[in-house]
């Protein structure tokens, strides 16, 4: 359980890091929080020749907000998603997802960029970015580009990142008033990867659902966005929405993995339940904040 030998590089700027990646190409692996990469190296599932440790690049950490978008630096730790007020207020779904990521000792090290680049479809942050139509900002010595989350996750543990590219940030839309967000997942033990889960956001105006986002965890090789569920909900009466059939319909056409932990049918069953639960919580929160509850809501506070 010891990693194979490698050359260690600890650049202090993004420019220096991408120069190293350009020079080393496929031989190099970026080390961020290390909570997935180091076990992979310990078990010798990966033996990179070069490690480019980005932990000393201060410019990669922290969040800023402008023009309705929250930019979260790649080196922002999972713990910061829970504690940073700007992040929590701007994109509450990140804060709701964070407690589901590993244990607090893992969240103290794990990073946003690392989770996205690792691209485990059973992880929370990839599903959040897909649900919210986030864009992933990447840099190489050739320049910078943004990739839509839906295009970023290509297949199991595969992303659209080129070997010389570094994830530098993720850009997420800030939703307006009357919103609710929730993450529900089922894991056999707390902190384990979920067998199935859902990350949901809804926006309610005048008692009607005006926007819905549903991202699914562990329901395929890549994080899945449940567009049929979103379409079914949009325009619906917030009170009368049938969340049970929304959940059931959303997973009907999916083909989740079948393994020792659960069959595909069991995962579909769990997935439907998690969608129903997460949407229920998100809707309750959104209705509580709906400033214009309209006729459908019988008086007063929710």
Show contacts with other proteins in window 213-272 (CB under 8 A). Answer: none
Q: How far apart are CA 62 and CA 55, in angstroms?
A: 13
**58 in contact with other proteins (CB under 8 A):** no
- Which residue, 34 or 207, is less far from other proteins as judged by CB? 34
Q: Which residue has the tokens 């569920």?
A: 229
Site string for other proteins, 173-212 (x = CB under 8 A): ----------------xxx---------------------
Q: Can residue 115 be called a binding residue for other proteins (CB under 8 A)? A: no
Among 108, 141, 144, 234, binds other proteins (CB under 8 A): 108
* Contact flag: residue 1 with other proteins (CB under 8 A): yes
Cα(169)–Cα(205) distance, integer angstroms: 31
Identity of the residue, 31 or 74, whose beta carbon is nearer to other proteins in the bound complex: 31
* Residue choice 26, 44, 89, 103 for contact with other proteins (CB under 8 A): 103
Cβ-based nearer residue to other proteins, 109 or 211? 109
Using CA atoms, how far residue 280 sits from 12, 127, 160, 275, in Å, is 45, 18, 34, 8
Residue written as token pair 């260690």: 8
- 71 φ, ψ to 5°? -105, 120
Block residue for tokens 């991408």:
18
Query: Shortest gap between Cβ of 82 and other proteins (angstroms)?
Result: 11
Q: Is 157 in the site for other proteins (CB under 8 A)?
A: no
Tell me which stretch binds other proteins (CB under 8 A): 106-114, 174-182, 258-266, 274-282.
106-114
Which tokens belong to 117? 């680049």
Closer residue to other proteins, CB minimum distance, 10 or 22: 10
Nearest residue to 51 (alpha-carbon basis) of 36, 34, 71:
34
With contact defined as beta carbons under 8 Å apart, do 50 and 3 qualify? no
Q: Does 42 bind other proteins (CB under 8 A)?
A: yes
Exactly one of 14, 22, 38, 264 binds other proteins (CB under 8 A); that residue is 38
**CB closer to other proteins, 79 vs 145:** 79
Q: How many angstroms separate the Cα of 302 from the Cα of each of 18, 93, 210, 292, 294?
A: 51, 21, 18, 12, 13
Backbone φ/ψ region at 36: left (φ over 0), alpha (ψ -120 to 50), beta = alpha
Binding residues (CB under 8 A) for other proteins: these are: 1-8, 10, 31, 34-35, 38-39, 41-43, 51, 53, 55, 79, 102-106, 108-109, 189-191
């Amino acid at each position: 359980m010891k990693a194979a030998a490698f050359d260690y590089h600890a650049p202090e700027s993004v420019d220096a890091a991408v120069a190293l990646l350009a020079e080393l190409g496929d031989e190099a692996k970026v080390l961020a929080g290390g909570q997935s990469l180091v076990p992979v190296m310990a078990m010798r599932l990966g033996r990179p020749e070069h490690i480019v440790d980005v932990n000393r690049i201060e410019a990669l950490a922290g969040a800023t907000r402008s023009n309705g978008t929250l930019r979260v630096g790649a080196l922002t730790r999972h713990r910061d998603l829970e504690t940073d007020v700007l992040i929590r207020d701007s994109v509450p779904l990140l804060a709701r997802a964070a407690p589901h990521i590993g244990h607090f000792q893992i969240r103290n090290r794990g990073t946003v960029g690392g989770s996205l680049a690792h691209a485990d479809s059973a992880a929370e942050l990839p599903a959040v970015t897909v649900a919210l139509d986030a864009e992933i900002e990447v840099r190489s010595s050739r320049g910078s580009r943004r990739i839509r989350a839906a295009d970023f996750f290509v297949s199991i543990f595969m992303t659209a990142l080129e070997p010389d590219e570094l994830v530098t940030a993720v850009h997420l839309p800030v939703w307006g008033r009357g919103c609710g967000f929730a993450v529900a997942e089922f894991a056999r033990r707390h902190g384990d990867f979920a067998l199935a889960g859902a990350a949901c956001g809804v926006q309610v105006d005048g008692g009607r659902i005006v926007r819905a986002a549903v991202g699914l965890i562990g329901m395929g090789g890549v994080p899945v966005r449940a567009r049929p569920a979103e379409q079914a909900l949009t325009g619906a009466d917030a009170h009368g929405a049938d969340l049970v059939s929304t959940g059931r319909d959303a997973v009907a056409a999916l083909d989740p993995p079948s393994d020792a932990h659960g069959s595909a049918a069991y995962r579909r069953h769990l997935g439907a339940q998690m969608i129903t639960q997460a949407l229920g919580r998100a809707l309750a929160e959104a209705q509580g904040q709906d400033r214009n509850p309209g006729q459908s809501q019988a008086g007063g506070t929710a």
